[in-house]
Amino acid sequence: MDCLFCKIIKGEIPAKVIYEDEKVLVFEDINPQAPVHTLVIPKKHISTLLEITGEDNELLGYLFQVANSIARDKGIADKGFRLVINCNREAGQTVFHVHLHLLGGRTMSWPPG
């Protein structure tokens, strides 16, 4: 499968990995939009949010737990952080493997651009 994030999971493309277990991989975004910009991805290939099924309930909950833990480790949990999932092109999705953007370390504006 020609998926950039699957290649990162397999180690075929390098990334700054900061956490890994059997279900999840966490690595630094190559083009950070904030002082903290980390990607939390399931190892299971799911193209977009729309492909999530009941089978993935536990996995998705776990992704949020991992994101919380990384936010704490990076010292942004109490100050505040943002989790973003872009779905399809108009939302800005460019990599079609579901991922949580963990953003923090600066004040965020709202509405998002």
Are 19 and 25 within 8 A, CB to CB?
Answer: yes
Total residues in contact with ligand AMP, by rule CB under 6 A = 13
Strand order in the sheet with 81-84: 17-20, 24-28, 36-42, 100-104, 81-84
Q: Is 33 helix (H, G, I), strand (E, B) or coil?
A: coil
Catalytic residue chosen out of the listed positions 37, 45, 97, 99: 99
Are 5 and 14 within 8 A, CB to CB?
Answer: no
**Residue 2 contacts ligand AMP per CB under 6 A:** no
**Residue 29 contacts ligand AMP per CB under 6 A:** yes
Taking residues 63 to 92 in sequence order and writing x for each that binds ligand AMP by CB under 6 A, - otherwise, the string is -----------------------x-----x
**Both tokens assigned to 14:** 């390098």
**Both tokens assigned to 51:** 């492909």
Which of 9, 15, 76, 103 lies at the binding interface for ligand AMP (CB under 6 A)?
15
Nearer to ligand AMP, 54 or 113 (CB): 113
Which of 94, 109, 110, 113 lies at the binding interface for ligand AMP (CB under 6 A)?
94
Are 38 and 102 within 8 A, CB to CB?
Answer: yes
Chain residues binding ligand AMP by CB under 6 A are 4, 13, 15, 27, 29-31, 39, 86, 92-95
Positions annotated as catalytic residues are: 99
